[in-house]
Every structure is written in C-alpha cells, then in structure tokens.
Amino acid sequence: MNIMSDEKQTELYLKMYAEENLSEIKKDNFQKLAILSHTVALDHYPEGPRCCAKTRETLATLANAAFHGKEVLSLSYLAHWVTENSPRLLLGLHRYVVHHLNTSYRTIDQPLSSGPQNEENMDLGTPVLESEPHFPDNEEAKPLPLSEVWLLAVSLPKLYIQPSVIHSPSSSSGLASLDSQGIIARFLGTICPSHWTPLYNSNNHGLGANRFLTHVLNYRGPTLTFIRGEGDVEFCIGSTDEWKETHMYWGKEDCIVLQTKPLFHIIERGPKLMYLNTGIRGYPLGLRAGLDPRKPTLSINSGFTQVEFKAIPYPLFSVEVWGCGTSQSREAQLDIKKWQVKQAERQRQVKLSAADWVDHPDRYLLELGGRTTYNEQGT
C-alpha cells in the first residue's frame, strides 16, 4: 500500500512468483504472472469478459525476450528489464489488488455471488478497440490480436495510448454523475487503447511506397507502423508526428522502434529517429528508423520489397499503419483527400483555347520530343 517506484512495484509482484530464495524466478512463472495481468484487464471489460486465442503465443514473445534462452533469471535483473521494456505490464493488476484491499471489507460478510464487487459483475473500465476493421475478401488483412494490442498498450509511451474523448476522465461532469462501477473504472484507469484507427493495410490496399504515402500522409497525429517480413518477424515503429517526405531525420522524444515477433522488446527510442524519402535525389531512398543515420536499425527499400533489421535483410510481406491521434486527426486527413481529388478532377476538365495552347509548356515539350505536327487547337 506504500508509494513505491515502478521498479520496486514490479519486483514486489515478481517475488510472489519467485523461487523459495526470492532472488530468482523461472520463465514459466513469469509468463503466468503476465497472463494473470492480461486476464484481469480483459475479464473486466465493460461489455463483458473478452478473450484472445493468441494470448499465450503473444506473451511468450515477451518472456522469451526477457530470459534470452535461459530458464531462470535474477529477480532484480528481470524487474529492471520489465521496467525498461514494458513499464505498465503489472499496473492494472496492482490497481486491481489495491482496489480490493481498500474496498473488500465493505462486503466481506456477504456471499461472493451477491456482492457488488463480484469479479463477474465488476466493471473495471478497460476499453479495447471500439470497432475492428473488417476485410471480408482477405483473410490476411485481419485486425491486430487483442493480446498484442494490450501488450503494446502497457509498453508504449503514453502518447500512443491516450484514450479517446469518450473515455477521458475529463469528459464527464464528475464523480457525482457516476455509479459505483464508473468510480472503479476511474480509479483503475484505461489499460487498452480505444481510439486507434486503421490508416493503411498493404494486404487490403496494396504494398508499395505510393500506396503507403496515399493513405498515411496528412494524418496529423502519432502513428504505429507494423512491418512484417519473412520468417514471422514483426516490427513496430511509433512516430510522434505526421509522416512527411524529407532528406532529414525527424520526430520527438517518444519516437520508438520495437520488435514484436518473435521476441517482444524495445530496440530504440528518442528524437530524430524517423526518415522517409521516396524522391529526393542524392539521399537514401525508402523508409528508415534509428538514432544513427549512418546505420539505421530498421529500413525498407524504395520499392517496398525488403525490410532490413540490423543489416539482416528479410523479404517484406506486409505493412500496416494505425493512427493514434484524436478522431479529428482522421477527419482532417479525409477532408484533405477530398480536396485533392476535387483539385485533380478540376485540372483534368480544363479546356485550352487556341490562344492558350500557343504559349502552353506542353507545346514546347512536344517540339523537344520531335513531334512537329499537332493540332493547333490543342487536341
């Protein structure tokens, strides 16, 4: 119940699953603890318990990355590793325990089935994606597994997981307007994001630099880009700002690169980590991410056919981008796209008069190309 640092709090819960000497912990026990924290989050979803068929598979990527092929680790080392790579892994579980320690005395004499704090009835306000995109014609273009969304939510900087306005504590009139379940939700906070919106999925929209730019540019908010290659490797790039083409590296402090499969861990994090250039000559082409411009940690070539991680190339299978900003960010992007379409249509419908054609640049281009005969009326 005392106030403690994140690392000490993590170490406290790890001790509950540690060996008898309380200084070491087995990989299987750590994975059980991670699954418990995940279960608490999904079991108390407001609309009823949720489950994910890939929970064990997803959380195994975290355990395997932490233990580096070992079966037993020092408890202090693991606590530090969790704090660095998944700082909020046990936060929801801790708040759940604190809540019960503070409130269970009210119903201790009541049968478990009838108590207002029964786990089956308690709403802990842990929202997940409000709506999952549906791609009926492509089985590969499915939404992210719920367990992966949760693991990202407890690992990424808070910039990417801030709840939408509907879930924000400041969006209601106050505690007076909430029932007991709503107050519990306020106390425990939101664990999974509810506002991520799909911007681009190469399995649905096509894989290529032009397709990527078409769907991602002008979204003025943070984004998560998932890159999947041969051998079931998957990476995630978190961008703090809207995507832009330039020969300079850009991005704020919370830019981040993670590997999510086959091992889940943070690779790099910091400012000026992002790079995108598809047309500026004299500079590297493609998408890059890394703190060292000379040796980027992760890169995609200009043709979007290959991803390279620490100088190891993999054939690129798919790219998926999710917007993590407000709903207004998505609406603004769609408005810009509509305006661009109208402008393009307007340009196509322009009719040239004979006088305009005489001095038109296209006439000189035709002459330079060797075409000496053409209609003087511009047709």
| pLDDT of res. 123 | 37
Distance between CA atoms of 8 and 76, rounded to whole angstroms?
Answer: 9
What does the block give as tokens for 297? 């940690």
| C-alpha distances in Å from residue 46, one per residue of 112, 125, 177, 185, 343 | 20, 6, 17, 9, 45
The DSSP code for 15 is H
Regions in the chain scoring below 50 on pLDDT: 114-141, 164-190, 377-379
At residue 289, the pLDDT reads: 95
Q: Mind listing the pLDDT tens digit for each residue in 331-347?
A: 776 677 666 666 666 66
Largest CA distance in the chain: 99
Position 333 scores a pLDDT of 67
pLDDT at position 97: 86
Question: Which pLDDT belongs to residue 98?
Answer: 85
The confidence score (pLDDT) of residue 184 equals 45
**Residues 164-203: tens digit of each pLDDT:** 443 434 444 444 444 444 444 444 444 567 678 889 999 9
Alpha helix positions (H), the chain: 6-16, 27-43, 55-67, 75-85, 91-103, 146-153, 180-188, 202-205, 209-216, 327-348, 354-358, 361-368
